[in-house]
Amino acid sequence: MDIIREARRQHTERAMREAEERAERQARERQYRRLRDLRGKRKALPENIWAATGLANPGQARQGDPGRKFPYAIAITPNGKTAYVLDYWGAHVTPISTVTNTALQAIKVAASHPTHIAISPDGKTAYVVSSGSTGTVTPIRTATNTAVRAINAGSRPGGVAITP
């Protein structure tokens, strides 16, 4: 009986892993489609945002890979000149110049797992939410692309919104 239980457990774990990977892949594809749709509105946006952040194929990202990158969310400044892409596993934000379609120096955020980003209406500050065990909001000065002191946001914050 133990052999049967172990086989069922392994089968269930494998099925759950496959379902999670499928859901992640679908989420990345949806985000890519949204970015592709944005490209028509902002002519300078790179055709393949994943390649601009150093990941040629979204399906390549796997937690635990050396040099792993996992583009998770994007925000574009009001003037349309810079896109900020969150790297979920690397705990970085990569600014991308939409004028030259090149990635700039990555910005380290205070805590792991950046999940949400919003840019102030004046475009001077980007706010990055990290949902690791110690949730933070890291302000980034967009003029210099530097992070300032993080703000404690409690355990696992779920988003960020800015009113005008």
Summarize pLDDT for 23-41 with one digit per residue, the tens.
777 777 776 666 665 555 4
Residue type (1 letter), 15: A
Is the pLDDT assigned to residue 54 strictly greater than 60?
Answer: no
For the chain, the structural domain boundaries read 2-154
Q: Tally Cβ neighbours within 10 Å of residue 57.
A: 10
- In CATH, 2-154 is 2.40.128: yes
Cβ atoms < 10 Å from Cβ of 46: 19
Percentage of residues in the chain having pLDDT higher than 70: 74
Q: Residue 119 has what pLDDT?
A: 92
Please report, for residues 34, 91, 93, 160, the alpha-carbon distance to residue 47 in angstroms, rounded to integers and kept in the order given.
11, 24, 19, 27
Q: Which amino acid, 115?
A: T
Among 1-5, 12-16, 105-109, whose mean pLDDT is lowest? Answer: 1-5
Residue with tokens 């994943």: 50
Q: Say which residue, 95 or 44, is predicted with more confidence.
A: 95
Which alpha helices (H) appear in 42-158, and where do they start and end? 49-52
More confident of the two residues 45 and 20: 20
CA distances (Å), origin 9, targets 1, 6, 51: 12, 5, 38
